[in-house]
Chains A and B, each alone.
Chain A
Amino acid sequence: MDRVPVLKLGDVLLVSIQTDLEDVVALALQADLSDRIVATGARGVVVDISALEIVDSFIGRVFADLAATARVLDAETVVVGMRPAVAITLVDLGLSLGGVRTALNVEKGLKILRQDLGLPMAEDLEAITSASNPLAG
């Protein structure tokens, strides 16, 4: 069975959905993601759906559930890169993904999370790592 990779980027988990989601895969992702949030103690989740061309009401609900689960585990979720056609479909289906943050692309999604959670920004991260690295400078 296909699995959706969940990548760890510092305090944030990046879920990159590369193909159209089958229902089974979507459910597996939900389970995987909650396991990984607990295991890594992640504070934020970025779900990249820029490759997703088809959504139905089920997948729409899975995203809402993903976000709700993550919130219970104290992690903010941002869905990024939604295509216009997908957005129009969701609106026509009457789904507004209430409670899920959205952003135009991964970069903006990460920025939102870092601002909201007070996590260090990418530039700050570099500063911290170079400062804590005794070999640097």
Chain B
Amino acid sequence: MAKKDDSTQVVTLLRERRDEILAGWVAGALAGMRGRMSEAEVRTELSALYDALVKATGDGLPPSTAPELDELRAQLRELSRSRARAGSSPSETAVSIFALKEAVLSELDDASGAESLADFLVFSRMVDDMGLITFEAYADARESVIANQADELLELSTPVVKLWDGVVAVPLVGTLDSARTQVVMEKLLEALIETESEWAIIDITGVPAVDTQVAQHLFKTVVAARLMGADCIISGIRPQIAQTIVGLGIEFGDIVTKAKMADALKITLEKAGLDIVRRPAPPT
């Protein structure tokens, strides 16, 4: 109970001088915003926060983990999210929360005293916690954005394109790991069925490095395609990659490998009994 008694002075202040403190807070917050939001907007946001704060600090400052603060915390997270969407940096959001300290301090000056200083320190710690909550909410929002993007990237980075009747190609870009290989494999095999293609070209021009694991993944894909009645050509093997492959002792066995995708396409056309010939020059 002693702690609650200590902080009553600030709490009373918060309640009695609502308008003055809020005005100071809004002014302080606006200074750090560099004109990104209008005063009216900031005032609406902060007065909602202020009221939640006053409500939560019923008869003294509760510890930062108290359930009374749940509503305040939710509001802070929402504020942080909406600010982040508007393009504010997390520090700007946190600074606008910290401005409350200045506003309260300037009001405390009038009714000074050693006790009120102790009160203010407790209050200041609470405002720090509030600022941290906005920081955390910002980081969480970022994390979820990154996770979504990673998923989208996984989908986007594995297009299966049809090159010719009966020939599909997958240009692989980026590092191949188990998760990606699985996606590539499934998409490629489904495309084989859909397009009734007997040939698949796996192009690894965009794969930065080939190690034994990546080779293993490629083999698996080729074997699966063969089980379904299609055959694979691996193309886009850069000189350094070829050297690494030999250095690692990886054997491609009877899998056809080509340096360029064009060569691979040519082979598939040859096997399909198609010739590419130049049209005779028109008579002059």
* A residues in contact (CB < 8 Å) with B: 78-80, 82-84, 86-88, 90-92, 96-97, 101-105, 108-109
Contact = CB atoms under 8 A, between A and B. Distances in A.
Interface stretch (B25-33, B88-96, B201-209, B226-234): B226-234
A32 to B, nearest CB: 24
Given A104-B192, A105-B196, A108-B198, A88 B185 contact: yes
| Complex A-B, nearest 9 residue pairs according to Cβ-Cβ distance, in ascending order | A84-B189, A103-B229, A102-B229, A87-B224, A87-B227, A104-B229, A82-B228, A91-B224, A91-B220
B84 interface: no
A88 B189 contact: yes
B198 A102 contact: no
A50 B19 CA distance: 75
A104 B198 CA distance: 7
B223 interface: yes
Interface in B186-223: 186, 189-190, 192-193, 196-198, 220, 223
B137 interface: no
A101 B230 CA distance: 10
B225 interface: yes
A83 B229 CA distance: 10
Given A84-B189, A104-B192, A97 B228 contact: no
Contacts of B190: 84
Given A96-B223, A104-B192, A104-B193, A84 B228 contact: yes
B227 A82 contact: yes
27 contacts: A80-B229, A82-B227, A82-B228, A83-B193, A84-B185, A84-B189, A87-B224, A88-B185, A88-B186, A88-B224, A90-B227, A91-B220, A91-B223, A91-B224, A92-B220, A96-B223, A96-B227, A101-B229, A102-B227, A103-B229, A104-B192, A104-B198, A104-B228, A104-B229, A105-B229, A108-B196, A108-B229
A91 B229 contact: no
Interface string B224-246: 11111110000000000000000
A104 B230 contact: yes
A109 B229 contact: yes
Residue with the greatest number of chain B CB neighbours at <10 A, chosen from A79, A84, A86, A109: A84
Residue with the greatest number of chain B CB neighbours at <10 A, chosen from A91, A101, A103: A91
A94 to B, nearest CB: 10
B226 A96 contact: yes
Contact of A87 (B196, B197, B198, B228): B228
A84 B229 CA distance: 11
A87 B193 contact: no
Given A84-B193, A91-B220, A102 B185 contact: no
Contacts of A83: 193, 228
Nearest to B185: A88
Interface in B54-97: none
Contacts of B197: 104
A91 B192 CA distance: 17
Contacts of A84: 185-186, 189-190, 192-193, 224, 228
